[in-house]
Amino acid sequence: METTEPAVAAAAVADGDLVVYPTETVYGLGADALDAEAVARVFDAKRRDRTEPVSMAVPTVEAVLEYTRATAPERAFMHEFLPGPVTLVLERTAAVPDVLTAGRDRVGVRVPDCEPALALLAETGPLTATSANVSGRESARRVADLDPEVRAAAAVALDAGETPGGTPSTVVDVTAGRVHRRGAAAADVEDWLDAH
């Protein structure tokens, strides 16, 4: 089912279902990031190897701090770049399930700069933040471009038209001073890391 109403997608998440939602980069595949069974369904829908962690999205920087233990430099980075097309790798709390992080003690967290996504997250709390595609295939910037397998796995697609950018988020570990994946805003992130 397609909708333009975040509340409809939020209701599906509350039922344990998967949803497709827009971000400022590409469409994401969302499920309750704190529900291990729902997260497992995201891996299945994407045919993603369970050894590869999935990030989570939250609606605010304050929400990031509810699920992570951030250092002062990491907090400074968040206030500079979030919301935005950046995924920050942080130490996780026990509330974050092992399946999301592939058993690692750190989790990628994103605050999208996209009103429909933020409205959805405000109602659902943390969602998985991974592109809505079968692993290895191209990411979708429109609901019409979703892989049929992903579309079939999602109960609801929150349609906000074409996303403004097709480049995935930049993944950064401030503590290590390293960019794991260059994406949107990568040059600005690297400049910040060099200066701090």
59-102: pLDDT as tens digits: 999 999 999 999 999 999 999 999 999 999 999 999 999 999 99
DSSP 143: G
Residue 115's CB is within 10 A of a number of other CB atoms, namely 12
Average of per-residue pLDDT across 18-34: 96
Q: Is the peptide bond before 85 cis (omega within 30 degrees of 0)?
A: no
Residue 163 per-residue DSSP state = -
Q: What is the pLDDT of residues 104-142, one digit of tens each?
A: 999 999 999 999 999 999 999 999 999 999 999 999 999
Q: What is the pLDDT of residue 41?
A: 96
Residue 4: pLDDT above 90?
Answer: no
In which element (H, E) is residue 166 found?
none
Distance CA 118, CA 174 (A): 24
The answer to whether 110 and 195 have CB atoms below 8 angstroms apart is no
Burial zone of 187 (CB within 10 Å; 0-12 exposed, 13-18 middle, 19+ buried)? exposed
Q: What is the pLDDT of residue 106?
A: 97
What total number of domains does the chain contain? Answer: 1
Structure confidence by residue, pLDDT tens digits, 145-187: 999 999 999 999 999 999 998 788 999 999 999 999 999 899 9
Question: Structure pTM?
Answer: 0.93
How much is the pLDDT for 165? 83
Q: Give the count of alpha carbons within 13 A of 180, CB side only.
A: 17
Residue 3 has pLDDT above 90, yes or no: no
Q: Which range of residues forms the domain containing residue 77?
A: 2-195
pLDDT of 160 reads 95
Chain-wide mean pLDDT for the chain? 95
- The enclosing domain of 165 has a CATH number of 3.90.870.10
